[in-house]
């Protein structure tokens, strides 16, 4: 058995963001010296971690799938939830909220001073 595990498989998804949110996402990614993909993935992980009702739903789904195998071709409850428009809207709303929060941090005088100190100008 190897000590270092293989990284998880990457899947490409396409989302449309409002212009101010997209700009804030890019600004925050630059602020932490990362990529917009990493920021979005981290924001989604945070949302999934904080949403206790969703956690309960996942646990129920795992239990029911271990108790009873899904019929071939039938989508699981989690697959239906993830593919639903409500789930995408909820996730994007959560990301927007986090972006607004981080935007307020980035526009604070202390943050501007910190960015000015680290800027390679």
Query: Using one digit for the tens of pLDDT, what is the confidence trace for 105-119?
Result: 767 676 656 655 555
pTM of the predicted structure, to 2 decimals: 0.48
pLDDT at 115: 58
In angstroms, the CA 10 to CA 21 distance is 23
Poorest-pLDDT segment among 21-25, 74-78, 99-103 = 74-78
Average the pLDDT over 69-93 and give the result: 68
Name, in order, each residue with C-beta under 8 angstroms of 29's C-beta and a sequence gap of 6 or more. Answer: 35, 36, 38, 39
Domain of residue 87 covers 83-121
Is residue 14 predicted with pLDDT exceeding 50?
A: yes
Number of folded domains that form the chain? 1
């Amino acid at each position: 058995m190897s000590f270092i595990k293989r990284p998880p498989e990457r899947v490409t998804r396409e989302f449309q963001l409002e212009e101010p949110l997209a700009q804030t996402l890019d600004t925050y990614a630059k602020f932490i010296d990362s990529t917009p993909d990493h920021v979005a993935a981290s924001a989604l992980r945070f949302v999934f971690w904080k949403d206790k009702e969703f956690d309960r739903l996942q646990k129920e789904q795992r239990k029911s799938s271990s108790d009873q195998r899904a019929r071939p071709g039938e989508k699981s409850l989690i697959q239906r939830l993830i593919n639903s428009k409500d789930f995408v809207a909820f996730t994007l709303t959560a990301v927007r909220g986090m972006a607004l929060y981080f935007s307020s941090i980035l526009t604070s005088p202390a943050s501007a001073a910190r960015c000015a100190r680290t800027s390679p100008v």
